[in-house]
Each structure stands twice: as structure tokens, then as C-alpha cells.
Amino acid sequence: MRELVEIIEANGGYLMRHQLNDLGHSDPSIRALVKEGVLRKVRHGTYVSHQAWLGWTETQRHLVVTRSVLNKLGAGFAASHGTAAAAHGFDLYGEPLDRVHLVRLDGRSGRREAGVTYHHGTTIDDDLIEVGGLLVVRGARAVFDTCTTSGIEAGMVVTSSALHTGRVTRDELITEGQQHPHWLGARTARLTIALSDGRLESVGESRSLFMMWKNHVPRPDMQTKVQNHRGVVIARTDFEWIGSHHTGEFDGKVKYGRLNPYSYDPGRTIVDEKEREDRIRETGRGMTRWVWADLDPKVQAETATRIRRGLDQSRRLYTRNATHIA
């Protein structure tokens, strides 16, 4: 068993059938290890520690499988699209992580087989870097590629996340669009990049901005500081429509359970949030809140309508005789 662990660690999380054979495990023996819950088969001829797999996130699982695929294929391939974005640590939404995306470095045509999509694309040495032991396309290229194949909402999530990390700049993304103007999906990618914003701090905030754009809610400012009448900063809001004296908050935090800082008193978090909201309203601002369920595609239009109603109400209540200094 110790030998299995050593090989798994040396490989970066997996081991291959031929390595098990080299250790004296026949196919019936391998099947027994899987049945006993020692190993887990993740691809043809590829295994991981079952216990480790249960503790990994979907992204960690995806990258381990990617590492095994690249190792098996050898030179001539690099991770691309959502797989490369995951390797760079960018947020993903709606990206099927049961499929590995690779770009062919030999110029041959792409194809799909056995859980892997092979992309044909123009790639030069400057496009490639090593991240976590994986050969991947650069961050800006990974984001642009992902945006060409995903929808605008999913693309805004990965783009805003990449911009937020500071490892990718908007100028780099614009350059990618200029270099590949005729690629399939390039037009959608350019629109997605224009809509994205590095001030967004989470998947939920990025999806919220998409929801507003899709449903014609005026584009807000983001991560603004709210000051009281003494000039003391009392809060930072996710979204603010300054001219309308209205704020918006996406609440994706876990209120109860292990992520609650007040685990001894779950209701304390709600009380704190209510007090914070009251302090914001005392500055002459309204607030609309929404949660994950409100971003479901079936109800996004209703959520947007609620935000617009909040904007209208705040304009009526707070902007009369108000002086706004830009």
C-alpha cells in the first residue's frame, strides 16, 4: 500500500494500470482494490486514491485527470479553454469538468473522444507556460478561448475572476480578440470581455452583473464604500447606483453551520446583516438583496424587476433636493 501512495504522489494524484501491473497487481487484483474502496477508476487505465478523490473539489479532480491525460499523450498537447482556466485558478461556472480541453500543438484537426476535446488552434511557444506541473496556454489565451465556447454568463465569470486576480489585464484580452478576429465564437468573446469587470469578487457577483445586463438594469458601480454623515466608512457594497441612491447586495454566504463565525448563535449573523443594512439606509440609500436562488435563469427576470422597483423607490425617497457630487 505504501508503494501505491508513493507512486500516486509522484504522479501528482493518480496512477496508471501498467504501474499497478509493475507492482504485481493483476486485473482481478485491481478490480478488488476498487471494490474495497482503496482505488477509484477515473478513466480507462487510470486510478486515484478513493479517499483522496472524495476530499477533492470538482476542479481538483479535473486537474488530476488532466495531468493523467497529458502524461499519457506525451508532447504535442497543452491544456486549453476551461481546463487551462482551472489550472490558472480562475473561477468557472457552467463549465463541464467531466471533459478535458487540450489544444494540439502539431496543427492537426481537432476531435472529441473519451472525455477529451482536442482543439485545433494557432499556438506559438509564447502562448504556453507551465502551471502546477501542467503545460497550459497563458492566462489571457485561456480566458479568451473559454469565452469563445461558453455562453456570456459563464464567460463573464471566468473573465471577471481572471481580471480580479491581476494576472490577466483587459488590454491582454482585447489583444487576444484582435489577433483572432475570425475564430468561431470570437465575437461573443469580445462582448463578454467588454461586459466583465475585475472588481467583481465572486461567481455570484459576476452572474448578478450578467443578470442585470440581460434584463436591462442600469449598470451599477461596484465595491463602493458607504460613509456616514461624519465621513466614517461604515460598509462596502457589492453594487451601487449612485445617482439613484440605491445599493445592491448578493448574499452568497453560508449563514449557518461551520462557515458561520457565530456558530454558537446562528441568528447573530442575520442580526449583524440587518444592522448593517439599517446603517446604510440611514445614509439615504435604499437596498435590494438577492441570493443564489434569485439568479436561477427561470427567475432572473423577476429579480431584475425587483431591483428596478428598488431603484425607482430610492429615487423617490432619497433624491429629492439631493446634491450629488460625482
**SS3 label, residue 320:** coil
Report the C-alpha gap between 110 and 121 in whole angstroms. Answer: 8
Same domain, 17 and 103: no
- Number of folded domains that form the chain: 3
For residue 286, CA distances in Å to 35, 88, 247, 307 come to 58, 38, 6, 10
Q: Are residues 133 and 104 in the same domain?
A: yes
Write out pLDDT tens, residues 15-27: 999 999 999 999 9
If asked whether residues 159 and 265 sit together in one domain, one would say no
Q: Could you tell me if 136 and 226 lie in one domain?
A: no
Q: Are residues 79 and 165 located together in one domain of the fold? A: yes
Q: Does the structure show a pLDDT above 50 at 260? A: no
Do 185 and 220 fall within a single domain? no
- pTM for this entry: 0.88
Give mean pLDDT, residues 273-297. 91
211 contacts 292 by C-beta, under 8 angstroms: no
Q: Tell me the residue range of the domain where 254 lies.
A: 216-318
Confidence of residue 256 (pLDDT cuts 50, 70, 90): very low
Question: Where among 198, 233, 248 does a domain terminate?
Answer: 198
- 41 and 119 together in one domain: no
Mean pLDDT in residue range 138-146: 96
Contact (Cβ atoms closer than 8 angstroms) between residue 237 and residue 226: yes
Count the alpha carbons within 13 Å of 261 in the hemisphere toward its beta carbon.
6
% of the chain surpassing 70 pLDDT:
92
CA gyration radius for the chain?
A: 24
Same domain for 142 and 174? yes
User: Higher confidence at residue 120 or residue 244?
Assistant: 244
CA distances (Å), origin 75, targets 42, 47, 152 = 22, 22, 33
Task: Give the burial class of 202: count Cβ atoms within 10 A of its Cβ; 0-12 exposed, 13-18 middle, 19 or more buried.
Answer: middle
Looking at the fold, whether 82 and 182 belong to one and the same domain comes out as yes
Pair 242, 180 in one domain: no
Residue 32, CB half-sphere, CA atoms under 13 Å: how many? 6
Distance from C-alpha of 212 to C-alpha of 220, rounded to nearest angstrom: 9
Q: Scanning the structure block, which residue is given the C-alpha cell 445586463?
A: 213
All three cell numbers of 47: 486510478
Q: Assess whether pLDDT exceeds 80 at residue 153.
A: yes
Residue 204 forms part of a structural domain: no
**Cβ proximity of 322 and 245 under 8 Å:** yes
pLDDT digits (tens, 9 = 90+) for 56-113: 999 999 999 999 999 999 888 999 999 999 999 999 999 999 999 999 987 777 788 8
Cβ-proximal residues to 174 (8 Å cutoff; 6+ apart), any chain:
193
What is the pLDDT confidence band of residue 270, given thresholds at 50, 70 and 90? Answer: low
Residue 60 lies in a domain: no
Give me the residues paired with residue 276 across strands.
Answer: none
Asked whether residue 211 is domain-assigned, the answer is: no
pLDDT digits (tens, 9 = 90+) for 110-135: 788 889 999 987 777 788 999 988 99
Q: Are residues 193 and 283 in the same domain?
A: no
Residue 85 and residue 194 in one domain: yes
In a domain, 206, yes or no: no
Q: Which of 131, 62, 139, 69 is nearest to 97 (CA)?
A: 62
Lowest mean pLDDT among 5-9, 29-33, 62-66: 5-9
